[in-house]
Amino acid sequence: MRKKDHCYGADGPGLVELRPVRRGVEISITEAGPDGDIELSSVLSLEEFRELLCDGLDVIRQVDALRDEAMRMRGLTRGNGGC
């Protein structure tokens, strides 16, 4: 694979790597953990990757709002047993 086919981005203590693969795009996230590096990866189809780029932030905001509402219903807030 050519070097230009990779995209690296560092935001905080982790590393995000995007690699084109036959089935779409592989996304890997590597974070430093107490027992060594932890890597999570997933392969998305091109259509899923497009949806992630176009709609991902809105989906994350909707999930956050649902989580916050569920926490409020349980009487939790961030810092007292919540996220």
Tell me whether residue 63 is in a domain. yes
Q: Which amino acid is at 21?
A: V
The pLDDT of residue 9 is 56
Note the pLDDT tens digit of each residue in 7-46. Answer: 555 556 678 888 999 989 999 988 887 888 888 899 999 9
Number of separate domains in the chain = 1
Phi and psi at residue 77, to the nearest 5°: -135, 170
- Which letter does DSSP use for residue 61 in this model? H
Q: Which amino acid is at 51?
A: E
Tell me whether residue 81 is in a domain. no
> In DSSP terms, which residues pair with 16 in a beta bridge?
9, 29
Alpha-carbon gap, residue 42 to 14, rounded angstroms: 16
pTM of this prediction?
0.55
The pLDDT of residue 37 is 86
Other beta carbons less than 10 A from residue 15's beta carbon? 16
* Token pair of 5 as six digits: 């086919």
Q: Is residue 6 predicted with pLDDT exceeding 60? A: no
Residue 51: domain span: 3-73
Q: Is residue 67 predicted with pLDDT exceeding 80? A: yes
Tell me whether residue 66 is in a domain. yes
Tell me whether residue 82 is in a domain. no
The pLDDT of residue 33 is 79
